[in-house]
């Protein structure tokens, strides 16, 4: 790698080579760019260790199978590339993405079967979808009038770049003096937001939507933790009305963990501060980052 680039700004793996993230590129005619014909997954590194690296790679491979993509890489080889991106960056807290695109079709055809699928990866400084003040004081959320893409059209459990509905929801949130939005389905049940799942707390019981959502790794972790501590957690439809009437709301994401919502559609939740259940889940989650069997330490030696 050359030039004045600081490795801590990010390292990418492109065409079999590690390069500064600022120099990484994807061909303009790759179907991943021109057709959103791709899948990806994101794992984070916290204090020098990956969290649930194997689970993220397994989910990435499941998304590839669901979208009829394939790579000549084993799970172990993918893990090695991701680790090398982190090692070369020197980052102890990092956002690490793996992507498989359909690739470039041969001239004269649009047949996706003839494309050679491509693998890209990068590590960059840890990404938070809520800033420090929002994580401390809570987020203002709306239930957007924009409907989420229906699961009958595209299975949301297959991670993808089809975010225009989510992006329009964010614009609506800004228009309504909020900072984030959760989208509903055609039946009036809430689904998810841009890069996050949502949980409600009512009477000390958790609930999270079970349909039309990407099944996030942080969501999975919360469900597991709730079972371990005897906290009821229901996976079921959650109506917009139920979300508005919740005692507490929090969102979950690899890019930030557990983040409280303290206002929904203009209604202040509780005393306007993160609630006790949310705070307990938040603390348990960050304590879990180095739990046995869930973390993979990065060896930063040359």
> What backbone torsions phi and psi does residue 263 show, to the nearest 5 degrees?
-145, 130
Instruction: Tell me if 298 is assigned to some domain.
Output: no
> What backbone torsions phi and psi does residue 201 show, to the nearest 5 degrees?
-125, 125
User: Is the same domain home to 136 and 116?
Assistant: no
- Annotate 140-152 with b (16+ C-beta within 10 A) or e (fewer): bbbbbebebbeee
- For the chain, helix, strand, coil in percent to 5 are 30, 30, 40
User: Is the same domain home to 147 and 269?
Assistant: yes
Report the chain's terminal Cα–Cα distance, integer Å.
15
| Residues 228-271: tens digit of each pLDDT | 999 999 999 999 999 999 999 999 999 999 999 999 999 999 99
The whole-number average pLDDT for the span 152-174 is: 96
CATH number of residue 81's parent domain: 3.30.470.10
User: Is the same domain home to 118 and 160?
Assistant: no
User: Is the same domain home to 252 and 107?
Assistant: no
C-alpha 264/C-alpha 248 separation (Å) is: 10
**Percent with pLDDT over 70 in the chain:** 99
Instruction: Tell me if 302 is assigned to some domain.
Output: no
Instruction: Tell me if 136 is assigned to some domain.
Output: yes
User: Is the same domain home to 138 and 227?
Assistant: yes
User: Is the same domain home to 149 and 177?
Assistant: yes
User: Is the same domain home to 143 and 284?
Assistant: yes
| Residues 62-115: tens digit of each pLDDT | 999 999 999 999 999 999 999 999 999 999 999 999 999 999 999 999 999 999
pLDDT at 1 over 50: no
Instruction: Tell me if 1 is assigned to some domain.
Output: no
| SS3 (DSSP) at 242 | helix
Confidence of residue 3 (pLDDT cuts 50, 70, 90): low
User: Is the same domain home to 180 and 235?
Assistant: yes
User: Is the same domain home to 34 and 13?
Assistant: yes
User: Is the same domain home to 101 and 212?
Assistant: no
Instruction: Tell me if 2 is assigned to some domain.
Output: no
Ramachandran region, residue 103 (left: φ > 0; alpha: ψ -120 to 50; beta: rest):
left
The whole-number average pLDDT for the span 197-209 is: 97
Which of 125, 145, 167 delimits the end of a domain? 125
pLDDT at 221 over 80: yes
Instruction: Tell me if 297 is assigned to some domain.
Output: no
| Residues 82-95: tens digit of each pLDDT | 999 999 999 999 99
Instruction: Give the dihedral of Cα atoms 192, 259, 60, 80; nearest 10 deg.
Output: 170
Which of 98, 125, 152 delimits the end of a domain? 125
**Percent with pLDDT over 90 in the chain:** 97
User: Is the same domain home to 273 and 157?
Assistant: yes
Could you list the residue range(s) of the whole structural domain that residue 92 is in? 7-125
User: Is the same domain home to 100 and 244?
Assistant: no
Q: What is the pLDDT of residue 17?
A: 97
Joined tokens for residue 97 = 């993405």
| Contact (CB, 8 A) for 101 and 30 | yes
Joined tokens for residue 14 = 């492109």
Q: How many structural domains comprise the chain?
A: 2
Which of 78, 107, 125 delimits the end of a domain? 125
CATH number of residue 227's parent domain: 3.20.10.10
Instruction: Tell me if 144 is assigned to some domain.
Output: yes
């Amino acid at each position: 790698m050359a030039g004045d680039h600081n490795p801590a700004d990010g390292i990418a793996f492109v065409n079999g080579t590690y390069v500064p993230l600022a120099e990484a590129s994807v061909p303009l005619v790759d179907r991943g760019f021109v057709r959103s014909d791709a899948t990806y997954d994101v794992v984070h590194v916290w204090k020098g260790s990956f969290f649930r690296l194997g689970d993220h790679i397994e989910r990435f491979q499941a998304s590839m199978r669901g979208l009829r993509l394939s790579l000549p890489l084993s799970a172990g080889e993918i893990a090695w590339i991701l680790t090398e991106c982190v090692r070369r960056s020197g980052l102890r807290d990092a956002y690490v993405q793996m992507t498989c695109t359909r690739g470039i079709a041969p001239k004269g055809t649009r047949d996706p079967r003839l494309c050679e699928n491509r693998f890209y990866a990068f590590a960059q400084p840890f990404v938070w979808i809520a800033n420090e003040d929002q994580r401390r004081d809570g987020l203002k959320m709306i239930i957007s009038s924009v409907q989420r893409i229906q699961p009958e059209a595209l299975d949301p459990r297959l991670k993808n770049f089809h975010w225009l509905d989510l992006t329009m929801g964010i614009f609506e949130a800004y228009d309504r003096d909020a900072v984030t939005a959760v989208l509903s389905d055609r039946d009036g049940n809430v689904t998810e937001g841009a890069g996050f799942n949502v949980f409600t707390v009512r009477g000390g019981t958790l609930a999270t939507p079970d349909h039309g959502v990407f099944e996030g790794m942080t969501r999975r972790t919360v469900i597991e933790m709730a079972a371990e501590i005897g906290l009821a957690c229901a996976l079921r439809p959650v109506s917009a009305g139920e979300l508005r009437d919740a005692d507490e709301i929090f969102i979950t994401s690899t890019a930030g963990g557990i983040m409280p919502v303290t206002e929904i559609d203009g209604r202040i939740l509780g005393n306007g501060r993160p609630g006790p259940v949310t705070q307990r889940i938040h603390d348990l989650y960050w304590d879990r980052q180095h739990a046995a069997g869930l973390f993979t330490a990065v060896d930063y030696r040359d």
